[in-house]
Structure 1
Amino acid sequence: MLPPPPAYPPRTVQTPGVGGVHRASPEDFVVQELPLRPPAGQGDHLWLLVRKRNLSTTAAAGLLARALGVRPRDVRYAGMKDRVAVATQAFTVRVGDRDVVPPRSLCNRSVRVLEWSRTDRGLKRGELAGNRFTLLLRRVKPDALRIARDALDQLTAHGAPHAFGCQRFGARNLNHHIGAALARGRWRQALDLLLGCANAQGFRDLPARMAYEKGDLAEAIALTPPGDSPERRALEALRRNNDPHSALLALSSTQLRFYLSALQSAVFNALLTRRVKQNTWRRPLPGDIAAPVATLRDASSDAATQQDVCPTGPLWGPDMPRAHGEPGMWEAHALDEAGLSLSDLTSLRDVVQVGPLGARRPLRMTVHDASVEHVDTEDGPALRCCFTLPPGAFATIVLREIMGEAAVDSPAITAPRD
């Protein structure tokens, strides 16, 4: 039996979906990161404006580290961008006083350096104003332009649920389940989810996963695609020690934190789904912890550009401020429904090597500068949709509102892993 997928809130716009297909190619999904501030022009870091195609942000960072002869941790970025996309974003690289000129392209032009300068410090996660999306939706309904325009008008006026998109849960839709197994100390289960065949049909590493399930670790390692992947690290450690716990600790702390984040995201989505169904997600109720609606950031204040408030939801952890009353009960129920307790997450803190664990996230986000136009393609009628979202927001959540839930909820699990 396959693990269940994460929850997503129902659509909030009062229109039918336009249907269609999104992300038929990387060029159909274009992301432009909006910087919070320009580079300083001097300092011990390189600032690089990079365009990557069909490559994850972490893979691009690894390529930059190798090309510039630095440690992976010396390469920093403000946010993760979609892999199956053409994405432009900034990276910083600590190089000290070395006279370094970055290469113009890497990995058969999958990574291109468009601009570079010097700056005085590395980027921090979340240090961006927002992201601009230009998305092509193919094979849509005949009246799609009118429907999409109406949907985007509603989203611009009222905002959208600030849910986590399917990318957070991985191409195989299992990251949150790996996080849950880690939280419960079920090391073998976590390893089986990471290395086994669940939801891996069509992946190029399926033969390696089949070898793992047969117990042939040497064959699994030989068949695993080259590169410093979590799967390869875990397999090699398991062959050395035959200990699932040690094999998982061989993963980087960044990767382990990502599984924890996916688990927190799944519980958050479950809570937000409940509140959208109840129509209690836009305005705070007694007992809620309110915060500004997630919106674009302004460098002058390094804060939200407007102060409209909404309820927040839980990114569960022992250090998270707790809601009270009915909202607090709903949040506790979401954690209980995931089969988890606060003590599970407390014990996970040492595994993933984090300090304070737990935060709040607004339930509502703004949608800015939205537009849509009709485009004729070789596949027939299409729409080009453009909009800008705050840091940490997922364009696939807006796509669900435009296209319909069935068109977006399943990740593209047939795409090969990078």
Structure 2
Amino acid sequence: MSEPTAGLTGPISPITPVNAWGAPLGQARVAASPADFQVTEVLGYRADGEGPHLLVEIEKCGLSTADAMQQLARAWDCPRREMGYAGRKDRQAVTRQWLSVPWPVNAALPETGPIGEGLVVLSVERHRRKLRIGALQGNRFRLTLREASLDPRAVSSRLARVARCGVPNYFGPQRFGRGGRNLSAAVDWLTGGRRPRGRSDRSMQLSALRSEVFNRVLAARVLDGSWNQAIADDLMVLDGRGSLFPASEEPADSLARRMAGLHVHATGPLPGRRADALRLPAALADWEDKQTPCLAAAVDGLTAQGLDAARRALRLSVGELAWAWPAPQTLVITCRLPRGAYATTVLRELVTWSAPE
């Protein structure tokens, strides 16, 4: 791996991710309407059929996940704080996701159907426990790109490569807030400035800082060509799982075959306390630290906030990828991504895109 590259440090704002497969092929509009950005959450398990909670599938449009939960809590007269969700979904989209709602065991199930503006309850079943954040397999996406100034042959070639080789697993711009304000607020807070107003703001700011550290390390590895390779000091992760193991523990030829098949990936840092428990080789830890000198003081402050250090795959495997041109300059892309992955990360390897505010 190379030494820190000019342009990856400087002002404390989210970096522009570095593309792996070349410059964008053209321009397009993404999410021109909510129906152009459709997301379906995949839990990977069924409702228990009994218990003091409901597992509720909803479809929302023009609402954040928090808005939808508040609207449902009012309609069903249930405590909002005791509801659960597996993942947040975009406001400017048509999204299907699952919520858990506390419900008396002897009470009749509530009816399905519309609940106010932009919210429909699709199904209701009993469940034993509250949904926890991250308790899902992933999400399916249907993305419609309009005014797409793209050569269909070039698109097919680029997307075939994405399906075969994956893309850098950047956190998307949603992670940092409008204009990067969550990241700026996190750096200010953790270097002695204004504290977050509440638990939600605190969580978003900590996530933004950790995500920026990861994105900067990943960008450096894309630049030097090592993001989709295993080097001797790497900690590897199984695709779609959290199990880590040192690259040095597997024969190089075996590891190379599994890397080529997208079965394992090298990882990057999500900083926090107890980093020693990850047993990261000193040389790799030192190199990763050198990619984010402007964030070092904030990262030092982060370790006191109770989040344990973790690792995230540098590469994203894009499942079930397909595309079609239903009309001139209109491209529809469908795919399945694991939890924590961003569809915008896939799009940036194809087009320069704009979305409505």
So what's the TM-score if we normalise by structure 2? 0.84
Cα deviation for residue 18 of structure 1 reads 3.2
* Residue deviations 1:112-162 (CA, integer Å, cap 9, x gap): 10111111112222221211111111111252x222222221111111111
Matched, 1:173 2:119: no
Cα deviation for residue 105 of structure 1 reads 2.1
Contact conserved, 1:373 with 1:383, CA < 8 A, in 2? yes
Match of 1:84 among 89, 92, 106: 92
Mean Cα displacement is larger for which, 49-58 or 279-288? Answer: 279-288
Contact conserved, 1:15 with 1:151, CA < 8 A, in 2? no
Aligned match of 2:345: 397
Aligned match of 2:231: 285
Matched, 1:64 2:10: no
Cα deviation for residue 102 of structure 1 reads 4.8
Aligned match of 1:338: 295
* Residue deviations 1:146-183 (CA, integer Å, cap 9, x gap): 22222221111111111100111113321111111121
* Residue correspondence of structure 1 range 12-31 to structure 2 within 5 A: 12-14=20-22, 16-31=24-39
Contact conserved, 1:9 with 1:276, CA < 8 A, in 2? no
* Residue correspondence of structure 1 range 18-417 to structure 2 within 5 A: 18-97=26-105, 98-102=107-111, 104-108=113-117, 110-143=118-151, 145-187=152-194, 245=195, 248-249=196-197, 251=198, 253-294=199-240, 308-320=263-275, 321=278, 323-340=280-297, 342-347=299-304, 349=305, 355-376=306-327, 381-404=329-352, 407=353, 415=357
Cα deviation for residue 91 of structure 1 reads 0.8
Cα deviation for residue 280 of structure 1 reads 0.8
Separation of aligned partners in 1, 2:34 and 2:72: 21
* Residue deviations 1:9-32 (CA, integer Å, cap 9, x gap): 322225742311111111110111
| Aligned partner letter, 2:325 | H
Matched, 1:10 2:18: yes
Aligned match of 1:225: none
Separation of aligned partners in 2, 1:140 and 1:21: 7
Separation of aligned partners in 2, 1:333 and 1:59: 40
Separation of aligned partners in 1, 2:335 and 2:262: 21
Separation of aligned partners in 2, 1:334 and 1:15: 23
What's the secondary structure of 2:108's corresponding residue?
A: coil
Identical-residue share of aligned pairs (%): 32
Contact conserved, 1:65 with 1:74, CA < 8 A, in 2? no
Distance 1:291 1:87, change over 3 A: same
Contact conserved, 1:8 with 1:163, CA < 8 A, in 2? no
Distance 1:67 1:172, change over 3 A: farther
What's the secondary structure of 2:78's corresponding residue?
A: coil
* Residue deviations 1:224-256 (CA, integer Å, cap 9, x gap): xxxxxxxxxxxxxxxxxxxxx5xx44x2x2331
What's the secondary structure of 1:128's corresponding residue?
A: coil
Runs (4+) of structure 1 moved beyond 4 Å? none
Cα deviation for residue 336 of structure 1 reads 2.1
Distance 1:329 1:149, change over 3 A: same
Separation of aligned partners in 1, 2:307 and 2:23: 42
Cα deviation for residue 383 of structure 1 reads 0.4
Separation of aligned partners in 1, 2:311 and 2:228: 15
Separation of aligned partners in 2, 1:295 and 1:138: 35
| Unaligned 5+ runs, structure 1 | 188-244, 297-305, 350-354
What's the secondary structure of 2:67's corresponding residue?
A: helix
What's the secondary structure of 1:317's corresponding residue?
A: coil
| Unaligned 5+ runs, structure 2 | 1-10, 243-260
| Aligned partner letter, 2:267 | T
What's the secondary structure of 1:357's corresponding residue?
A: coil
